[in-house]
Amino acid sequence: MAGMTQNERILRHLEDYGSITQMDAMQDYGIMRLASRVNDLRREGHPIVTEGVTGKNRYGEPTRWARYRMGGEIVGFDFKHFREDRNKAFIAFVMDDDWNAVKEYCTNYGVKMPDDPDVMAAGIYKAVQEVADIPDELKVKAAMKCLKIGFIPFITPPDMGARV
């Protein structure tokens, strides 16, 4: 595979093996940022689907990771609207506990509804943090909702103060 780009290696791997994980990418090709390369490929129009996988780490503790595979049609996919709609759905959930907005978003885009509360909370938090013009109060509300679900945000939102 000499002379191939990382993206070309990932596509070849998907064609040959059907799916790829971060561990596959790192061990087989030295690719350290698989999610970024998958994002590049999706922007080029490749129909790559993310599947959540659960298992145990070497200490026997439960853990999750992503497995990427070729999926449905994405050619001509509008990522700007995809992200805007995702953010609107999760913000509606934060503001009004509106699960229907999240379900509608998942249905419209063929995204699997997260059944793990941590994954759902992480999605909510990420969506709310990505919206540049969102008031700090809503960011705090999103963080509090995540904490209520049991997910601890990685970044301390504005006006929440330092936590130890």
Q: How confident is the model at residue 61 (pLDDT cuts 50, 70, 90)?
A: very high
pLDDT of residue 24: 92
b/e per residue 79-88 (b: at least 16 CB within 10 A): eeebeebbbe
Residues 90-101 pLDDT 10s: 777 777 777 788
Inter-residue contact 102 to 113 (CB < 8 Å):
yes
Question: What residue spans of 18-116 are helical by DSSP H?
Answer: 22-29, 34-43, 79-96, 99-109
Give the model's pLDDT for residue 106: 75
Give the Cα separation of 8 and 141 in Å (integer): 42
Query: What are the sequence ranges of the domains in the chain?
Result: 6-70, 79-149
Provide DSSP, 93-106. Answer: HHHH--HHHHHHHH
Both structure tokens of 9: 């290696």
Side chain identity at residue 3, one-letter code: G
pLDDT tens column, 26-39: 999 999 999 999 98
**Fold that domain 6-70 belongs to in CATH:** Arc Repressor Mutant, subunit A (1.10.10)
